Amino acid sequence: MSESLHHAAFASKMADGRVACLLCPHNCILADQQYGICRVRCNINGEMMTASYGTIAAVHVDPVEKKPLADFMPGTETFSIGTLGCNFDCDWCQNDSLSRSDYRTQYRNMKAYSPREIVRAAQNNGCPSISYTYNEPAVFAEFVIDTAKLAHEQGLKNILVSNGFINLKAAEELFINIDAANFDVKAFTEEVYRQRIHGALSPVLECIRYFYSTGKHLELTMLIVPGVNDDPEEIRNFALWVKNELSPEVIVHFTAFHPAGRTLNVPRTRPDTLFAIRSCAEECGLKNIRLGNI
């Protein structure tokens, strides 16, 4: 596997041979040969390395509306790529075949693609944009940065579909060549983020505020999991935050959950639940609500 590793950015060497990862708010401190929470960033002989640079595990040509983006290049297709790993561990992960997989086990010795190969593939498929999606793009940030820069040089747009759990210094570099993003807000309480996601809400909100401040196209998504984040008061708090901290015009997607991950015993989200959530968000002043997976 070592021949597939790539030098990683957003790290700091420590005097005792450990390496501090500065990419996301977990701020993992890694001893030699140790991997971070994301399963892809690691310390090899005192150097921060990444196993996810170009090692693409999923690639599809998707309608841009599937990201979901309701008002960015509508009617076009986007060349979508993802790797393995994630810096969250959501109980209800809808894509855990990627996020919880590991390059050291079932994906050993995968071929690594160059940014130029990805851009060429997007062009060959007639896609005017590339989407970094499926798993968390932050964990392959170096590849996103290099590919997005080259894509812009070739006249392509770049789309990020992210959980927003990124340190701001890393986000500033990651977002430079990103044209549109959809951030997935998992819930609107720190308790759910801590207990069910193994992360934190406040850095996500800080990241979203920063992306909004860049003036780029922003949409948000909340997957509604019954009994987890469907409380009307939580929805009101989220909607008011969007209205007051961003804009009432920001497009917000509320989408239906289906049993997955460690929540196979949780029922699908009822359509009437989503309709009630839409009404609640509109009453709070949001003007662009979309419902999905109904």
pLDDT of residue 195: 96
Enumerate the domain spans of the chain: 2-50, 58-292
Residue pLDDT, tens place only, 188-199: 999 999 999 999
pLDDT of residue 105: 75
Q: Which band of pLDDT confidence, cut at 50, 70 and 90, is reported for residue 164?
A: very high
pLDDT of residue 21: 98
pLDDT of residue 108: 62
- Percent of the residues in the chain that have a pLDDT greater than 90, as a whole number: 89
- Do residues 131 and 161 make contact, with C-beta atoms less than 8 angstroms apart? yes
Report the CATH architecture of 58-292: Alpha-Beta Barrel (3.20)
What is the rounded average pLDDT of the residues 23-45? 97
Give the number of other CB atoms < 10 A from CB of residue 34: 14
Give the number of other CB atoms < 10 A from CB of residue 97: 15
Contacts for 278 with CB less than 8 Å, ≥ 6 apart: 254, 289, 291
pLDDT of residue 41: 96
What is the rounded average pLDDT of the residues 263-289? 96
Helix axes 141-153, 115-124, angle to 10 degrees: 50
Q: What is the mean pLDDT of the chain?
A: 95
pLDDT of residue 169: 97
CA distance 25 to 62: 31
pLDDT of residue 94: 84
Question: Would the CA dihedral through 156, 146, 177, 247 be positive or negative?
Answer: positive
Residue pLDDT, tens place only, 77-102: 999 999 999 999 999 998 878 888 87
Burial label for 175, CB within 10 Å (0-12, 13-18, 19+), is: buried
